[in-house]
Amino acid sequence: MRWKAVASFAVAVALCSSCGSSAPASSSPSAVGGTITIFAASSLTAAYTAISNDFQTTHPGSMVKVIPGGSSTLAAQIQQGAIGDVFASADQPNMQKLVDAGLVAGSPSIFAHNRLEIVIGAGNPKHITGLSDLAHSGLVVVLCAPAVPCGRYATQALQKAGVTVKPASQETDVKAVVSKVALGEADAGIVYVTDVKAASAAVQGVEIPAGQNVVADYPVAVLKDSQNVPLAKAFVSYLLGAGQQTLARYGFTGP
């Protein structure tokens, strides 16, 4: 008698493990719902938070979790088996790593572009007007580490401008560069236009002319191990459609 009860319980559990995902689909086939996790480059943090809030309003019953981080960190975490649904990178090489590893479903699409800017303390106490000023000795300059996209882009921009900078630190992500300047520990850094826009009033930006600037491509893709492909796909198409307005508000330019 007893083992029968146990067996029927086990069967019930086995049946129920599939009912969680199939139940919403059977009630209305076109509706998407559930939860998705987005791995987003640090520079996307503010924009993605706004977009995921909008997305949740237009897609009732859905829940979007944004995990920000350096693109290379996130790519490494996904390669080590982190479970998520969408990856948005601040550069192509880190996305390509996942494509090569067979971790991406379909092909990535570019959804935004970003440019670089010099971040300085509010009021420009050191009178910085361009990249060439960053070479002055006595100026504390922080950049992203060469492994991080913003570090690679900064190196390219400095090369184009023919400027050699001795950074005090090579930070692990772009937000760390902004915060070092915002706290007054560094005089200047090279970050994305969008980071200056999203930062506090403690910092301001100095434009880098187009001839010296670098355009960053932001690719997005649904991950192969996604547990909720319909919602992940819906999010990506929202990003390429209605989400563009929000991205523009945060300083990104369209694809």
Partner 1 sequence: MALPVRRARRARPAAPVALLVLAAVGAAFFVVPLIGLVLRTPWGATWDQLRSPEVLTALRLSLLASASATAIALVFGVPLAWTFARLNFPGRAVMRAVTVLPMVLPPVVGGVALLLAFGRRGLLGGWLATTFGVHLPFTTIGAIIAETFVAMPFLVITVEAGLRSMDTRFEDAARTLGASRWTVLWRVTLPLVRPSLVAGAVLCWARALGEFGATITFAGNFPGRTQTMPLAVYLALETNPDAAIVLSLVLLAVSLAVLIGLRDRWLGSS
One character per residue 45-74, x = contact with partner 1 (rule: CB under 8 A): -------------------------x-xx-
Token output for 170: 């090579």
Residues 75-104 binding partner 1 (CB under 8 A) are 75-76, 79
Q: Which is nearer to partner 1, 97 or 233 (CB)?
A: 97
Residue 24 in tokens = 């919403």
Residue 184 found at the interface with partner 1 (CB under 8 A): yes
- Confirm if 215 and 115 have CB atoms less than 8 A apart: yes
Q: What is the dihedral of CA 45, 50, 54, 55, to 10 degrees?
A: 0
Answer for the pair 152, 143: CB distance below 8 angstroms, yes or no.
Answer: no
Q: Decide whether 180 or 233 has the Cβ nearer to partner 1.
A: 180
Does residue 237 belong to the site contacting partner 1 (CB under 8 A)? no
Tokens of 161: 């401008």
**Contact flag: residue 167 with partner 1 (CB under 8 A):** yes
Q: What is the chain's percent helix, strand, coil content, to nearest 5?
A: 45, 25, 30
Residue 130 neighbours by CB distance under 10 Å: 14
Q: Which is nearer to partner 1, 72 or 228 (CB)?
A: 72
Pick the piece of the chain touching partner 1 (CB under 8 A) from 2-10, 51-59, 143-151, 189-197. 143-151
Interacting residue ranges for partner 1, rule: CB under 8 A: 70, 72-73, 75-76, 79, 140, 142, 145, 147-148, 167-172, 176, 180, 183-185
